Amino acid sequence: MCSCCRSCRRGPEERVIMQPSKQTSLERVSLRLAHPGDAPLLKRWRSEPSVRRYQPLGPVSVSQLSAELASQRLADLYRGRGEKFQWIIRCLEQPVGWLTLVVTNWDHGLAETGYALSSAHQRRGLMPQALDILLADLFTNTGLERIEARCAVDNIASQKVLTKVGFHREGRLRGYFVLSGRRVDNYLYAILREDFFSG
């Protein structure tokens, strides 16, 4: 069992990550690696208006999502390889959203995270807990040193989440992506390993 896990179930690919959050909450949040069987659920979440409002999520089929999830290996993350990983966020054992990690450079310990909660589970304080769990695992058990996140300048809720977890706003990315036919500015946030453990 790794140093920040309370539960490792049925081998590394099924590991459930649970860590006391810095935030006080009665909700019990955990993460597990997403698997191909989650593809229909992820597709449904991706189609929800509240999820698409601030994210340029393109059309994708269940089979495409399933193939992508089948290719990820959690063991690669802890061996310093692999590029994209996705987790299902669970609250009281029920799936409520997802987290994505894209490693941009292993040599320099750089990665970017993205996230979303289903409409029914937003505004409950779950995302700061989920991010806190992921960051604790990454900064304890991998060679990653800097995690970035980007969010639309109008996405106030996401900005509050990142600030609460300890991310620092580092700048504004003009015309970063196209959303509903118009170019949208994003804020760039980042957190370093030293930031996380000193917070």
Q: Which domains does the chain have, with CATH numbers?
A: 12-198 (3.40.630.30)
77, burial (CB in 10 Å: exposed 0-12, middle 13-18, buried 19+): buried
The type of residue at 186 is: N
Q: What is the C-alpha separation between 96 and 74, in angstroms, rounded?
A: 21
Rounded CA separation 95/44 (Å):
12
Global pTM reads 0.85
d(CA 86, CA 70): 11
Closest C-alpha to 17, from 3, 9, 7? 7
CA-only gyration radius of the chain, Å = 16
Distance between CA atoms of residues 76 and 85, nearest Å = 10
Q: Which pair of structure tokens corresponds to residue 195? A: 């930031």
Spatial contact of 118 and 48, defined as CB atoms under 8 Å apart: yes
* Distance (Å, whole) CA 5 – CA 167: 23
Q: At what angle do helices 62-70 and 39-46 cross, to 10 degrees?
A: 120
One digit per residue, the tens of pLDDT, for the chain of length 199 reads 333 333 333 343 455 665 544 444 446 899 999 999 999 999 999 888 888 888 888 888 999 999 999 999 999 999 999 999 999 999 988 999 999 999 999 999 999 999 999 877 888 889 999 999 999 999 999 999 999 999 999 999 999 999 999 999 999 999 999 988 899 999 999 999 999 999 7
